[in-house]
Amino acid sequence: MGLTLWENLQKCLFRAVSGFFLLLFRLFLRQVPAKATKLPPIRNPLLTVPAVQLAEKIRRREVTSVEVVQAYIDRIQEVNPLINAVVKDRFSAALSEAAHADQLIDEETGGEDALADRLPLLGVPLSVKESFFLQGMPCSTGLVSRAQFLASGDAPTVALLKRAGAIPLGVTNTPELCMWMESSNNLYGITNNPYDLQRMCGGSSGGEGSILASGGAVIGIGSDIGGSIRMPSFFNGIFGHKGTTGIVSNDGQHPPNSGRQDEYLSTGPMCRYAEDLLPMLKILAGPNAEKLSLSTEVDLKKLRFFTVVDDGGSPLTSPVDKQLVEAQRKVAQRLEADLGVKVKEISFPQLKYAYQIWDTYLALPDDEGKPPQPFVELMADGGPAVWPVWELIKWLFGKSEHTIAAIGLAIVWSIQSATPSQFILQQKEALQHSIEEVLGSNGVLLFPSHPLLALKHHHALLTLYNVGYTGIFNILGLPVTQCPLGLSKEGLPLGIQVVAGKLQDRLTLAMALYLQKAFGGWRDPGAA
């Protein structure tokens, strides 16, 4: 199939799908009550201390873990009625664990350094995305049929954070089956953006992004197969890291991976403060941490910098918001002024096929030829087969257990061709070669985190192809850190993706620290 013909077919499909969603969207909007309440500002100074400093203060007995955990519980109880981010708490257990942490510190005989080495996050509160197994807590990913499910153990990554001394406060909302850009489902409802409660918080780690930005958590854990850490981190003005593929375990999550999806999924840290990213990644990576050389100092002046302003003009994606273009330009100017480097503007023509590459590779079979589990089977969760068109009819009458986003995805994916486009496979290979050649071991690339600022609730139904801006880096397996860059004229977060070569995560984490200092990092949405 020729290139021009293929592009024209994509345009026609996009128009048809957009028109279909627009009709449903207009019907759906009537069900959404408007909210205009503003979040209260943060008043307790304990809520504005990075996790690494909190751990140090707790070890030095400058503050108790019980005081810190109680401060965060109070904040969650204050903001969660407005944002609906934490869907199930474990406050009583968290306070008991905090008291135990304080007791461990009182009884420690090896000194503060030994305690820091053994339990680097001792007494620090943590939020957990509801798709991770956390013992005794739900793991439904918004499926009504999984409402009664409780995890009997911890996901490996959750266990590592708990072994480091972190104390989970509860689990946070996701889209249905974690496959959408907005965290809304028929089990827990919709999660709001703390900077504007009428806007989306992103997905699939949207509850994490919302509660972290609101000051209800200081560190959290998310997962990312198409931008599910980076999009909510961007929309909520916090830091989020999608690491090099294959370093951090993806086990202990729902839905389970199938096909080649484990190659593209990345579990990683989300936080308000850049200095918490590296310690968290080191803990999450476990024995694989040494592959990332995280202890190696990074001299930003010795790096090579590149900027890509958009995806090259895909007919499927939205143009990049002018405020985001300007913010990225300011980052380049600041780097040149501060570090004496040259930020080179480049482009990759294959990027305009980012969405198609992501969509194609997620559907590829594994080495044994077994394809991914169909989305309609995941929706059924072992029950009777889901017929997406029938679910759509039921939804129109308020009878479906599934969201319109999940139903729409099921319809689109059920009519997809099972044979991957050779043209798209070739574009991915060409892009992989070009971008890895440019980055090498000391290159850093700036790229928009998303073409648009946080949208009003449910408007993502009309912009599903914008996931290409983040999803392409899952397929390429590259480390990416989303960094906040202040607020727009509407008071919404600005941000940027910082990309590096494989196993060069320390470069993007060092850039996060630099950008936090240069642009101010996270802003309290109650004070913004």
Structural domains in the chain, CATH included, are 9-371+418-519 (3.90.1300.10), 372-417 (no CATH)
CB half-sphere exposure, 47, CA atoms < 13 A: 23
pLDDT, position 418 = 82
Alpha-carbon distance of 285 to 62, in angstroms, equals 30
- Residue 516's nearest CA partner among 337, 275, 222, 327 is 275
pLDDT, position 171 = 99
Sign of CA dihedral 279, 164, 45, 230: positive
Work out the angle at residue 75's Cα, subtended by the Cα atoms of residues 102 and 166, and round it to the nearest 5 degrees: 35
Work out the angle at residue 227's Cα, subtended by the Cα atoms of residues 222 and 230, and round it to the nearest 5 degrees: 65
Chain-centroid distance of CA 231 in Å reads 5
pLDDT, position 37 = 74
> In the sheet where 167-172 sits, what is the strand order?
86-89, 167-172, 125-129, 219-224, 266-271, 239-242, 480-487, 493-500, 443-447, 304-307, 343-345
How high is the mean pLDDT in each 10-residue block of the chain (528 residues)? 52 56 55 64 98 98 98 98 98 98 94 94 98 98 98 98 98 98 98 98 98 98 98 98 98 97 98 98 98 98 98 96 98 98 98 98 96 96 94 97 97 89 98 98 98 97 96 98 98 99 98 98 93
pTM of the model as a whole: 0.95
How are beta strands 343-345 and 189-190 bridged, if at all?
unpaired
How are beta strands 189-190 and 184-185 bridged, if at all?
antiparallel
Residues with a catalytic annotation lie at 129, 204, 228
pLDDT, position 27 = 57
pLDDT, position 15 = 52
pLDDT, position 417 = 82
